[in-house]
Homo-oligomer: A and B are copies of this chain.
Amino acid sequence: MMKMQMRPRAEAANRKQEGGRVAVVAGSGMLPRQVVDALLRQGEKPYIVAIEGEAKPSDYAELDIRPVPPARLALMLPELSRLGVDRLVLAGGVATRPPLRQLRFPPAFLLQLPRLIKAYAQGDDGLLRAVIGFIESRGIKVVGAHEIAPDLLAPAGPLGRVRPNRNDLRDIKAAAEAARAIGSLDIGQAAIAVGGRAVALEGIEGTDGLLERMKALRDHGRLAGARGGVLAKCAKPQQDARADLPAIGPQTIVDAAQAGLSGIAVDAERAMVLDMAETIKRADELGLFVLGMRESDN
């Protein structure tokens, strides 16, 4: 029902031109395959640009796929145009940022190099905006994963059986406040609060690294005896929704449970829940809440 309701929006954002094709630039994690599945359901035949070292080519065995090292991604653009690609989705994680001197560009893009160098130093947001501008200057429209598959966006309210209690609500507020503060600095998207205060903030290591650290922190004297705690993941206020929306999935639930947390809160409609059914099943099994936060909630 929800999917039917959202279909028109997906089709509007992802309108193909006569004979046009969509490319998925696939990084790590579950998101790219979920975007591909949504595209297949919409009758598209996506072309997969698999980032080497990030995407698993075997995940896309039945599709047209081209593995490309991160430093050579820009060289793909002229070829994608020749293949009739008119839309492109960036999906999945990219942990590797190749040294600038290794980057390769098609000759026509050399004029854009100074802009890219600047963006490269500005962090994720600046870089992603430059990459998107770069692609669109070639006449290929960049479409957000959430526009292809809007049912990946977290709805508002509790997603599973477990609901946050009063202590959890206090932790949600503290963790979300911290996550938004570091998001506005473009440092990370996630924070953990325990006992009403933020105790660990996501840096470049990502949410899985943060949760692993939290597991170790449980032994820290200042947390001794403290139970529960909440992971909050929030969209950066300034971020381009066409790349890098915060996401959680079944593994996030397992990691959060191992870190001793009571639950996870994400921005409703601005964060993605990958494999929603499995994520909620795990959360219910492990006794964690998963909450879609409305901005008015905190």
Chain A residues packing against B (C-beta within 8 Å): 53, 95-97, 99, 121-123, 177-178, 181-182, 185-188, 195-201, 203-205, 213, 217, 220-225
Instruction: Indicate if the CB atoms of A97 and B185 lie closer than 8 Å.
Output: no
CB pair B222 A198 closer than 8 Å: no
Counting every copy of the chain, the complex holds: 2
In the complex, chain B residues whose CB is within 8 Å of the CB of A96:
221-222, 224
Q: List 6 A-B contacts (CB under 8 A).
A: A97-B224, A121-B196, A185-B198, A198-B203, A199-B204, A204-B220
With known contacts A123-B197, A205-B217, A181–B177 Cβ distance under 8 A: no
Q: Complex formed: what's the CA distance from A196 to B100 in Å?
A: 14
In the assembled complex, which residues on chain B have CB atoms less than 8 Å from the CB atom of A187? 178, 197-199, 201
A188 CA to B225 CA in the complex, in Å? 21
Q: Quick check: B195 and A121 within 8 Å, CB to CB?
A: yes
**Closest 7 interchain pairs by CB?**
A96-B221, A95-B221, A200-B203, A199-B204, A99-B225, A201-B201, A123-B197
Check if A217 sits within 8 Å of B200, measured CB to CB.
no
CB-defined contacts of A224 to chain B, threshold 8 Å: 96-97, 99
- Smallest CB–CB gap between A260 and chain B, Å? 14
Q: A187-B198, A197-B123, A197-B187 are in contact. Are A220 and B178 (CB under 8 A)?
A: no
Instruction: Establish whether residues A222 and B178, one from each chain, have CB atoms under 8 Å apart when the complex forms.
Output: no
Please report the C-alpha to C-alpha distance between residue A225 and residue B246 in the assembled complex, in whole angstroms: 26
A95 vs B224: C-alpha distance when bound (angstroms): 10
- A201 to B222, Cβ gap below 8 A? no
Q: Cα distance A185–B179 when bound, in Å?
A: 11
Contact B198 A217 (CB under 8 A): no
Tell me the nearest residue of chain B to A54, going by C-beta: B221
